[in-house]
């Protein structure tokens, strides 16, 4: 029986033994030896966020206009509610029922020498940063010993060989990267690519793997725009029947975003799955082409980005305003200090 990717029908099938193994695996560092596929799933470490956690990272700039990333599809054991409870309603969760074996994108150093420490965005893959005018090379390696995977990018320009979307009898190797194999996607950030965009598996296993968290984001700055002081990634999906932010559900498990007064703060908001969401942050507003907002909707594979200069200290909520989603996990904290 397939107990991977946390589909609804396999919920709760992960035995307590697997959780124990995950706890042991969590003690191990994330570094993987060169070229070796991680045979056993590795559990996520609890993420302790700090102000510095939310500084935007960079790719490796190998020429004036070329940025390179190395990204692997890596098997992990993932607990959707690592804090074990919903503090708003007092509900307690059995880790055996909130843990799944799955595959997620993780960033590696050049030539896949070592797996890098992930950003504070749960199971979301590495944020691919670039600016308009850049060529982006994403070197992908499939460490999943069981199934093919790929990367399909929204928002950027590419030839069909870099589409990453499987079409039976038509598409090439980049759409069906077999266990242990690699493929390089070549992307161009045009003037119309500025913004935030999702990427995700589009191989023959995409139906299960996207539900399991095999997705990430591109963050592309317009030419001449400075990086923000803080960048937050909110990715709405559903895992193990829990409405998640970055693959995590409920306050104290979802990311605690942090900023200080005076920071230029950027929010990257994305959705995948089957539902429509309405993103809301308390105590703040932002500008869009339609005027000022404090709620904005995001449908599957849609995304938006906005910035503000922070001026409101306090502990604030961010959440999906679909009530059922919010009460089923899609909520977290935003902490602003002086
Ligand atoms: Cu929602």
Q: Give the model confidence (pLDDT) of 292-333 as tens digits.
A: 999 999 999 999 999 999 999 999 999 999 999 999 999 999
Confidence band (pLDDT; 50, 70, 90) for 41? low
| CA of residue 299 to ligand 1 center, whole Å | 9
Residue 94's CB is within 10 A of a number of other CB atoms, namely: 12
In a domain, 2, yes or no: no
Read off φ and ψ for residue 47, nearest 5 degrees. Answer: -95, 120
| CA of residue 334 to ligand 1 center, whole Å | 18
Q: What is the mean pLDDT of residues 64-70?
A: 96
| CA of residue 321 to ligand 1 center, whole Å | 6
| Distance (Å, whole) CA 219 – CA 196 | 5
Lowest mean pLDDT among 42-46, 79-83, 164-168, 248-252: 42-46
Residues 50, 121: contact at Cβ < 8 Å? no
**Strand-pair category, 152-153 with 286-288:** unpaired
**Residue 220: per-residue pLDDT:** 98
| CA of residue 250 to ligand 1 center, whole Å | 13
The Cα angle at residue 69 between residues 257 and 125, in degrees rounded to 5: 40
For the cut 50, the answer to whether the pLDDT of residue 18 exceeds it is no
| Distance (Å, whole) CA 77 – CA 333 | 25
| CA of residue 1 to ligand 1 center, whole Å | 30
In a domain, 123, yes or no: yes
Read off φ and ψ for residue 67, nearest 5 degrees. Answer: -120, 135
For the cut 80, the answer to whether the pLDDT of residue 201 exceeds it is yes
| CA of residue 325 to ligand 1 center, whole Å | 5
| CA of residue 194 to ligand 1 center, whole Å | 25
In a domain, 3, yes or no: no
| Residue 34: Cβ-neighbour burial (10 angstroms; 0-12, 13-18, 19+) | exposed
Residue labelled with tokens 């596929």:
37
**Residue 48: per-residue pLDDT:** 85
Task: Please name which of 267, 269, 263 lies closest in space to residue 312, comparing C-alpha atoms.
Answer: 263
Residues 325, 277: contact at Cβ < 8 Å? yes
| CA of residue 30 to ligand 1 center, whole Å | 32
Confidence band (pLDDT; 50, 70, 90) for 31? very low
| CA of residue 255 to ligand 1 center, whole Å | 16
**Residue 236: per-residue pLDDT:** 98
For the cut 50, the answer to whether the pLDDT of residue 16 exceeds it is no
The CATH code of the domain that includes 203 is: 2.60.40.420
| CA of residue 276 to ligand 1 center, whole Å | 6
**Residue 5: per-residue pLDDT:** 77
**Residue 209: per-residue pLDDT:** 95
In a domain, 219, yes or no: yes
Q: Is the dihedral of CA 23, 243, 11, 77 positive or negative?
A: negative
Q: Residues 8-32, buried b or exposed e (16+ Cβ, 10 A)? A: eebbebbeeebbeebeebbeeebeb
**Residue 43: per-residue pLDDT:** 56
Lowest mean pLDDT among 27-36, 37-46, 112-121, 323-332: 27-36
172 versus 45: the higher-pLDDT residue is 172
| CA of residue 277 to ligand 1 center, whole Å | 4
| CA of residue 330 to ligand 1 center, whole Å | 7
- Residue 30 structural domain: 8-337
| CA of residue 88 to ligand 1 center, whole Å | 17
Number of domains in the chain: 1
Confidence band (pLDDT; 50, 70, 90) for 6? low
Lowest mean pLDDT among 22-31, 52-61, 245-254: 22-31
- Provide the β-strand partners of residue 296: 279
In a domain, 19, yes or no: yes
For the cut 90, the answer to whether the pLDDT of residue 137 exceeds it is yes
Q: How far is CA 147 from CA 74, 207, 233, in A?
A: 11, 12, 28
**Residue 34: per-residue pLDDT:** 43
| CA of residue 322 to ligand 1 center, whole Å | 5
């Amino acid at each position: 029986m397939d107990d991977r990717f946390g589909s609804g029908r396999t919920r709760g099938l992960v035995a307590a033994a697997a959780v124990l193994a995950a706890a042991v695996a969590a003690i191990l560092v994330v570094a993987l030896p060169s070229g070796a596929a991680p045979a056993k799933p590795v559990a996520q470490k609890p993420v302790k966020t700090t102000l510095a956690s939310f500084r935007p990272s960079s790719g490796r700039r190998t020429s004036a206009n070329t940025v390179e990333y190395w990204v692997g599809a890596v098997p992990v054991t993932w607990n959707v509610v690592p804090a074990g409870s919903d503090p708003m309603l007092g509900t307690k969760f059995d880790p055996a029922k909130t843990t799944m074996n799955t595959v997620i994108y993780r960033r590696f150093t050049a030539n896949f020498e070592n797996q890098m420490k992930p950003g504070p965005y749960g199971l979301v893959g590495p944020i691919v940063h670039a600016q308009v005018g850049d060529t982006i090379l994403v070197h992908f390696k499939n460490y999943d010993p069981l199934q093919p995977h790929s990367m399909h990018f929204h928002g950027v320009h590419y030839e069909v060989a870099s589409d990453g979307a499987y079409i039976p009898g038509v598409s090439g190797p980049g759409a069906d990267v077999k266990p242990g194999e690699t493929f390089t996607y070549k992307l161009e950030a045009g003037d119309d690519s500025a913004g935030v965009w999702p990427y995700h598996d589009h191989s023959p296993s995409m139906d299960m793997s996207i539900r399991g968290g095999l997705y990430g984001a591109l963050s592309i700055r317009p030419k001449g725009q400075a990086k923000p002081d803080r960048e937050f990634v909110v990715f709405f999906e559903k895992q193990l029947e829990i409405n998640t932010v970055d693959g995590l559900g409920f306050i104290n498990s979802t990311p605690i975003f942090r900023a200080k007064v005076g920071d230029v703060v950027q929010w990257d908001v994305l959705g995948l799955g089957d539902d429509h969401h309405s993103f809301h942050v308390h105590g703040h507003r932002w500008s869009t082409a339609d005027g000022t907002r404090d709620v904005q909707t995001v449908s599957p594979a849609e995304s938006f980005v906005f910035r503000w200069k922070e001026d409101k200290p306090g502990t604030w909520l961010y959440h999906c305003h679909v009530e059922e989603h919010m009460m089923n996990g899609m909520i977290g904290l935003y902490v602003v200090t002086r």
